[in-house]
Amino acid sequence: MSPLLSGSLFHSSPFNPSSPHAQVISDLFILVLYISAVIFLVVFGSLLYAILRYRGKPGQPDPAQEFGNAKIEIVWTALPFLIVVFLCVFTVKTMYSADPPAKGGDPDLVIIGHQWWWEARYPKSGVVTANEIHIPVGKNFLVRLESADVIHDFWVPQLSRKMDAVPGQVNYIWLQASEAGTYLGACSEYCGAQHAWMRIRVIAQPEAEFEKWQQEQLKVPSKPTTGEVALGAELFERLTCVNCHTISGTIAEANVGPDLTHLASRQTLGAGILENTPSNLARWLANPHAVKPGVLMPNMKLTESEINLLVAYLGTLK
Amino acid sequence: MSETPIASETVDSVSKVEEYKGLYSWVASVDHKQIGILYLIFTIIFLLLGGIEALLLRIQLAQPTSTFLSPQAYNQLFTMHGTTMIFLVVMPMLIGLATYLVPLMIGARDMAFPRLNALSFWLLVFGGLLLYYSFITQGGAPNVGWFSYAPLSEKPFSLWTGGVDYWALGLLVAGIGTVSSGVNLITTIFALRAEGLTIRRLPLFVWMVLVNSFLIILALSILNASLVMLLADRLLGAHYFRPATGGSAILWQHLFWAFGHPEVYIMVLPAFGILSEVIPVFSRKPIFGYEFVAGSTVAIGLLSFGVWAHHMFTVGLGHILDSFFGIASMLIAIPTGVKIFNWIATMWGGSIRFTTAMLFAVAFLVQFTVGGLSGVHFAVVPIDWQTTDTYYVVAHFHYVLFGGTFFGIMAGIYYWFPKITGRMLSEGLGKIHFWTMLIGFNLTFFVQHILGLIGMPRRVYTYPDLPHWGMLNLVSTIGAFILALSVLVFVWNIIASLRNGKPAGDNPWDAWTLEWATTSPPPVHNFDRLPPIRGRRPLWDFTHPDKADWKVHEKNGT
């Protein structure tokens, strides 16, 4: 990460790349911006000169009538053509370095777009999570993108190109971070009511930390036996929560909504709309539509004591 | 193609159509001038509607996590804003200007098919009404964006709204009218030119309308067919675009953009034509490189059908296809650049009069260049991989279609209003209109480039409170209100000038194409008689017999 950009306007932009793939795009982008600036200055400069120099005065006779000049036309057709040839070469070259073909390798990560959240599966370890994607620093992850419903688009500007998640099709991208940190992204293809709150967090950690995170994510939570937490767990299984969600070690095994096995270990709720705190979780449970209008989770019409029990239980799922 | 014009005989042989008066004439008219004016009135009404929709969107986005609009309302409004501005404002405004001007510019009595002309207009009206009717239906207006990507636009994902059906039906009805306009304009230009007005002497506006009309009949037909397929999916249970039952979501994108990209040029080429009339007249020089300006239009028209997949670089078509479409898209920059250079060369060495029309034309050149350059960025495929579907795109196409086309239309309206109404638009109000629009436009849309580059996707009803996002969005919203003010000044200028504008006379700008050879407004039969046509500037030749273009060309052997 360029220290120049930390905290600046362009902090989370493609101009602050943190991977070799995003780096080559940034370099090309900056080159093209320079070329564009030169072209703009040439056009604007000659226009400005013309309007200042050739401003007509009242009563002035008509100027000399010229009809054109084929030589000049050829020059200003050929010059842009050369620029285009130059750009073509760089375009194609950069395409292959920014996005090398996956060649059918096994993905390290499968990301599935849902209305309006991201499912993340690590096929090699079996970890399943949502919206917050952990990767080890410096490792080049092959990501397979799928969609469960409509077209979404996975975009984390500092790390990789964006790529659509298309129903009935699989796409691949490379995801890598050169430095530890949290990288922000978002769904970049309009996908319905809550397209705005389909945000992405990529958390790049040193390899050991990442391994530790995976181990923790794989742990099956022990069944609580006492107090509010046990009552909450029982309530969770009794209500219709289990028709949509999964919590390992319980009867909840559905995959319509996000996997909640380690919900409490996440930073946000509702794909980025709320910070993950007990009071926000209570707000969400009381009526998800008040928080994220249009969300597919129904209002469960829970009583306050039910909400408290569920928050107590879900809060233990670290 | 025959070089022998047949217009003069046609003018004589057309029996005089009865001149209707009053309100009835505005409904029953088949006169191209009345229909042209109806187009302009209709489009200004929809401009105000689309503008109000835009203001509501900008109010919602003025600050992070705002709750002024629900996501459902926001999504309906941006869908309607885009659909309105494209199908009910920009495209019909240009077609309306062409309907009014083309017969006059070629010295014809009317369009080739006057009744078809009226049908085209009224289909547009009913298409627009069908689209807007959706607001009062259950579930409300369409909410899937102006490009209605499948499968979001399919039944399982928008079950609760008929909005998408009204969207498809409305556009289909209007689209049939638009195709008819294209057929009508092509026939008119080929068949009804006055004696001496060869294809190589056509005013450039007419040239561009001609090329444009071919784009219209090819591209709009693709759209109409796709809309029928979408309706079949939604209403008859077909499976064209539904991946869950064996259809293809990507097929919709191919079809839509096979229409959608030529559509961009359909909205740009006639504006190029306006510039090619306005700039020479107010620079007091003929267009520089007529053949190159006309030829580059043909090049753009042809290329426009081979670039559609540059809207699809993130779909996963593979690098080979992406490269092809990227390179094809970059090529369009060449003929477009040629035009810009020729316009500047026309001004070069001229005696420029900064009327309001000319100011809009100059602003067009600057803003369109910005939009054109950011357009090249999307053709550089890896840059598109970062910027597509962000506010960078929103900024880009508003620079092309608003800063470009719409400013061009404004230039055209200030230029031709005296001909159409017989009265001048106020230059004083015109200059206030110009400067507020220039400031409002750039304030609204320039910052959107930055918003896109710092990660703001387009079509989001709200956004998190990230550093600088709120401030930049607020600036954009303030700009939008200045822009709205400028539109009000424009509408006021029209109303005030219609009442008290200075009488225009036949040829207030000392222009040289045929429409200025008749009275303002022209009589129902357009011309009592035409000047002899021996070159591209018949009125210049008429007023400057010693320096007539054809004499100059004869002397130079060109």
Q: Which residue in B315, B370, B376 is closest to A164 by CB distance?
A: B315
**pLDDT tens sequence across B460-508:** 999 999 999 999 999 999 999 999 999 999 999 999 999 999 999 999 9
Q: Is the pLDDT of residue B20 over 90?
A: no
Structure tokens at A81: 């053509």
Cis peptide before B151 (omega within 30 of 0): yes
Can you give the pLDDT at residue A3? Answer: 47
**How many of the other CB atoms lie within 10 Å of CB of A207?**
11
* CA–CA distance, B67 with B228 (Å, rounded to integer): 37
Structure tokens at B9: 């005989």
A268 sits in which H/E element: strand A268-269
Can you give the pLDDT at residue B16? Answer: 52
- Region A38-62: mean pLDDT is 94
- Region B228-247: mean pLDDT is 94
**pLDDT tens sequence across B515-535:** 999 999 999 999 999 999 999
How many Å from the N-terminal Cα to the C-terminal Cα in chain B? Answer: 22
Higher pLDDT, B371 or B13: B371
How many angstroms away from the CA of B349 is the closest CA of chain A? 6
Can you give the pLDDT at residue B377? Answer: 96
Structure tokens at B106: 């070629």
Chain B residues with CB under 8 Å of A167 CB are: 151, 243-244, 249
Can you give the pLDDT at residue B18? Answer: 57
Chain B residues with CB under 8 Å of A55 CB are: 352, 354
Least confident interval from A38-42, A240-244, B15-19, B237-241: B15-19
Interface contact flag, B71 A293, Cβ < 8 Å: yes
Interface contact flag, B152 A190, Cβ < 8 Å: yes
**pLDDT tens sequence across B104-134:** 999 999 999 999 999 999 999 999 999 999 9
A64 has a chain B CB within 8 A of its CB: yes
How, if at all, do strands A127-130 and A117-122 pair? antiparallel
Chain B residues with CB under 8 Å of A168 CB are: 243-244, 248-249
B522 sits in which H/E element: none
Contact assessment for residue A201 and residue A159, using Cβ atoms and an 8 Å cutoff: no
Return the number of CB contacts < 8 Å for A and B: 278
Q: Least CA distance to A149: which residue of chain B?
A: B151
A63 has a chain B CB within 8 A of its CB: yes
- Region B25-39: mean pLDDT is 94
- Region B143-150: mean pLDDT is 94
Q: Which residue in A54, A69, A77 is closest to B347 by CB distance?
A: A54
- Region B435-451: mean pLDDT is 98
- Region B143-155: mean pLDDT is 94
**pLDDT tens sequence across A248-286:** 999 999 999 999 999 999 999 999 999 999 999 999 999
Q: Is the pLDDT of residue B313 over 70?
A: yes
Cα-flanking dihedrals φ and ψ of residue A164, to 5°? -75, 145
CA atoms within 13 A on the CB side of B516: 22
- What does pLDDT average to over chain A? 94
* CA–CA distance, B6 with B29 (Å, rounded to integer): 25
How many angstroms away from the CA of B329 is the closest CA of chain A? 10
- What does pLDDT average to over chain B? 94
Can you give the pLDDT at residue B554? Answer: 83
Q: Is the pLDDT of residue B4 over 90?
A: no
Interface contact flag, A171 B453, Cβ < 8 Å: no
B529-to-A131, B383, B514, B538, B542 alpha-carbon distances in Å: 74, 57, 11, 13, 13
Q: pLDDT category, A237, cuts 50, 70, 90? A: very high
* DSSP conformation class of A309: H
Can you give the pLDDT at residue B267? Answer: 96
In a mutational test of the A interface, the residue from B242, B303, B383 whose CB has the highest number of chain A CBs within 10 Å is: B383
* CA–CA distance, B208 with B191 (Å, rounded to integer): 17
Least confident interval from A10-24, B145-159, B179-193, B426-440: B145-159
Can you give the pLDDT at residue B204? Answer: 97
How many angstroms away from the CA of B176 is the closest CA of chain A? 28
Structure tokens at B176: 């049939």
**Which chain A residues in 215-254 lie under 8 Å from chain B, judged by CB atoms?**
none
Can you give the pLDDT at residue A302? Answer: 96
Q: Is the pLDDT of residue A70 over 80?
A: yes
* CA–CA distance, A267 with A276 (Å, rounded to integer): 5
- Region B441-447: mean pLDDT is 98
Q: Considering Cα of B306, then B308, then B310, then B312, what sign does the dihedral take? A: negative
How, if at all, do strands A117-122 and A132-136 pair? unpaired
Query: What is this model's ipTM?
Result: 0.95
How many angstroms away from the CA of B188 is the closest CA of chain A? 28
**Which chain A residues in 165-204 lie under 8 Å from chain B, judged by CB atoms?**
166-169, 171, 184-197, 199
- Region B350-359: mean pLDDT is 97
Neighbouring-strand partners of residue A287: none
- Region B421-446: mean pLDDT is 98
Contact assessment for residue B88 and residue B128, using Cβ atoms and an 8 Å cutoff: yes
In a mutational test of the A interface, the residue from B60, B338, B341, B558 whose CB has the highest number of chain A CBs within 10 Å is: B341
Can you give the pLDDT at residue A7? Answer: 64
10 Å CB burial of residue A238 (0-12, 13-18, 19+) is exposed
Q: Least CA distance to B144: which residue of chain A?
A: A192
Can you give the pLDDT at residue B160? Answer: 66
How many angstroms away from the CA of B342 is the closest CA of chain A? 8
Q: Is the pLDDT of residue B430 over 90?
A: yes
B494-to-B80, B360, B363, B500, B511 alpha-carbon distances in Å: 26, 16, 21, 10, 22
B524-to-A151, B38, B471, B520, B547 alpha-carbon distances in Å: 54, 15, 55, 11, 33
Can you give the pLDDT at residue B19? Answer: 60
* CA–CA distance, B45 with B85 (Å, rounded to integer): 11
Q: Least CA distance to A82: which residue of chain B?
A: B334
B449 SS3 class? helix
Q: Is the pLDDT of residue A4 over 70?
A: no
Q: Least CA distance to A196: which residue of chain B?
A: B460
Can you give the pLDDT at residue B10? Answer: 46
**pLDDT tens sequence across B41-89:** 999 999 999 999 999 999 999 999 999 999 999 999 999 999 999 999 9
pTM of the model: 0.95
Q: Is the pLDDT of residue B446 over 70?
A: yes
